[in-house]
Structure 1
C-alpha cells in the first residue's frame, strides 16, 4: 500500500539531505524548480486533452474545485479567528503596499500554461501516451529539488518551536482543512482518504496538482491545482483587508504561500512583526503537504 508513497517521497527525502551554502547553486536550483513546474503543468494540460469526453470531465473538475474550495476555505475561516482572540498579533499600518495586479498575474500565468497544454493537446494530431511517463520522471526530479529547497530555507528547529503563533496557525489550518476534506468527500460521495489528500494542499498549487494528478488522474489533479490556486488569488485580496484586525487569519488563509509568494504582501500590509509568523507557518505547511498528501494517497489506493 505504501510502495507508491515511498516511490515519490524518496527523492524528497534525498534532496533534504543536501545542505547547500552556495547562493549561486541555490539560485540555479530555484530557477530549475520553477521551470520544471511550468513543464509539468503543461503536461497536465496535455493529459487533460487525452481524456475521452472532455466536456463531462470538465464539469467534474469544476464541481470538485468549487466544493472543496468553499468547504475547506470555510472551515479555515471559521477557526482561524480564534487564534486572533487567544494569541493576538500586533501589526503596523503601512501606507506603501505592493500592487495586487502584478502578483495576481503570476498566478494567472500558471493557468495559461495548463490551458496552452490543453489547447495544443486537443488541436495537434499527436499521440499522448507518453505524457504520463514523462510527468512521473519530471515529478521525481522536481521533488528532489523541493527537498533541497526545504533543507536550505534558513529555518532551524529552534526558530520554528519558539514561534508559537506560527505553529498554532499551521496546526489550525491542518486540522480545519482535514475536517473540510471529509465534508467535501461526503458531499461528492468519494473516498474520505481522497478528500483528505485533496485537503492537504494548503495552498501549494503546483505540488498539490502534480501529486494528486499522479495518484488519481488528471481530473482530480486539475481540480486540486485550481483549488489551491484560487486560495492564493483570494489570499492576495484578503490579506490587505484582514491583516489590520485579524492578522493570524490573514496569514493562515495564505497557507504554505505565506513563506514565499504572499510574504511580500503580508510584510507590506502588516509590517515586519508578521514576517516570522508567516515564514514559520508557511514552512510547516509546506513541509506537511507532501507528507500528508502522499500518506492519504497511499490509504486511498
Structure 2
C-alpha cells in the first residue's frame, strides 16, 4: 500500500494540473515557474551531494557509473529503435532539412547549478541547510506545472493516446531502457536488479530522476541518475538532425522524456510537422511512466 501511495503522491499533481486550461499569459508564467523549480531541484541535489561521506573518493565513481549507464542506455535504445524503424519504415517529408542549430547552454547551466549547490552544501553550517522535505514539495510543484503545460499545449488527450506509432515507440523505448538497467546491474555487482531498473527509468527527466534516486539510494546515486539524463539531453540535441534523415523514429525516441518539450523544436525542424504528433504522444507516455517506474523499482530494492 505504501508503494501505491507514493506513486499516487508523485502522479496526482500531474493529473490535477491537466484538469486546468490556462490562458496564454498564465502559461507563460508557468514556464518561468517550472524553470525556477527545475533549478531549485538541481541546487538541492548539489547540496545533498555535499553531505556524502568521503565525497572526494565518491566523485570518480559517480562519473564512471553515469558514463557507463549512459553508454548502455544509448546502445540499447538505438538498437531497439533502429529495429522499430526497419519494422515500420517512415521518412518525414522534410528529412533533408538542414541540421538545427544545437545549443548546449542549458545543459551547462544545469551542471553549474548542481556545482553551486555542492559548494553551498560544503560551506554552509548544517543548521542553514534546507530540510529534505523542501525537495519533495518542489518536485510535486514541478510535476503539477508539467500537467498544466500538457493541457495548455492544445493537443487533446485523446489525440495523444490514439497515436499508435507514438505508443508503440514508447513501449519499445522503455523495454530497451529496462534491458540497459539489467545490464548495468550485471556490470556493477553492488547494484541490485531493482536498483538498475530504477536508475534506467529516468528516461531523460533529469530533475525528477536525480531527486527520486537520491531519496531511494542516496545523494551519490541521485547524482549518477542526474548526470546520465543530462548527458542524454545533450546527446539527443546533437544527433536528432542526423538520425532524422534515415531513422525518424530513432530521432524521436533518443531524447526520451524531452521529446515533447525541450527537444521538440529540434525534432520539428528536422522532421517537419508530420512528426510532431508522434513525438508528443511518445513524450507524454514516457513522462507519465518515468515517476511510476522509478518509484516502483526504487521501493523494491
TM-score normalised over the length of structure 2: 0.91
Match of residue 64 from structure 1: 65
Match of 1:99 in 2: 101
Q: Distance in 1 between matches of 2:145 and 2:300?
A: 26
Kindly indicate whether the alpha-carbon contact (under 8 Å) linking 2:45 and 2:223 is maintained by their aligned counterparts in 1: yes
- Tell me the CA shift for residue 241 of structure 1: 1.3
Matched, 1:41 2:42: yes
2:278 match: 277
Which residues in structure 2 correspond to 1:196-211 (within 5 Å)?
A: 196-211=197-212
SS of the aligned residue for 1:200 comes to coil
> CA–CA distance in 2 between the matches of 1:82 and 1:141?
38
1:239 shift after superposition:
0.9
Counterpart Cα distance in 1 of 2:129 and 2:287: 32
- Residue equivalent to 1:225: 226
* Shift of residue 156, structure 1, vs aligned partner: 3.0
The Cα shift of 1:138 comes to 2.1
Count of aligned pairs between the two proteins: 298
User: Once structures 1 and 2 are overlaid, which stretch shifts more, 158-167 or 197-206?
Assistant: 158-167
Q: Is the 8 A contact 1:40 1:138 kept in 2?
A: yes
Change (3 A) 1:24 1:144: same
Instruction: Name which of structure 1's ranges 124-133 and 231-240 shifts more when overlaid on structure 2.
Output: 124-133
Report which stretch shifted further, 79-88 or 15-24.
15-24
Provide the rounded CA distance (Å) in 2 between the counterparts of 1:45 and 1:67: 21
For the structure 1 residues 3 and 165, does the alpha-carbon distance in structure 2 shift closer, same or farther, using more than 3 Å as the test? closer
Q: Could you tell me which runs of 5 or more consecutive residues in structure 2 were left unpaired when the two chains were aligned.
A: none
CA contact (8 A) 1:204 1:256 kept: yes
- Which ranges of structure 1 fall in alignment gaps of 5 or more residues? none
Shift of 1:63: 2.5
Structure 1, 10-19 or 70-79: larger mean CA deviation: 10-19
Counterpart residue number, 1:265: 266
The 8 Å contact of residues 121 and 129 in structure 2, kept in 1 or not, is answered as no
Deviation digits for residues 108-130 of structure 1 (CA, Å, limit 9, x no counterpart):
11011001111232244554653
Describe the shift of the 1:90–1:14 C-alpha distance in structure 2 as closer, same or farther (beyond 3 A).
closer
Describe how 1:143-222 pairs up with structure 2 within 5 A. Answer: 143-189=143-189, 190-222=191-223
Q: Does structure 2 retain, via aligned residues, the 8 Å contact 1:181–1:192?
A: yes
Q: TM-score, normalised by structure 1?
A: 0.91
Check the 8 A contact 2:22/2:148 in 1, yes or no: no
SS in 1 for 2:267: helix
Equivalent pair of 1:20/1:26 in contact (CA under 8 Å):
no
> Is the counterpart of residue 115 in structure 1 residue 107 in structure 2?
no
> Shift in Å at residue 14 of structure 1?
5.7
Mapped contact 2:91–2:247 kept (Cα < 8 A):
no
Distance 1:146 1:263, change over 3 A: closer
Cα distance in 1, alignment partners of residues 163 and 149 from structure 2: 21
RMSD: 2.1
Would the aligned equivalents of 1:11 and 1:147 in 2 still touch at CA under 8 Å? no
The answer to whether the Cα contact below 8 Å between 2:96 and 2:245 also exists between their aligned partners in 1 is no
User: Offset of 1:5 from its aligned partner?
Assistant: 1.8
What is the aligned partner in structure 1 of residue 91 from structure 2?
A: 90
Q: Hey, what does 2:249 align to over in structure 1?
A: 248
Deviation for aligned residue 1:151: 4.4
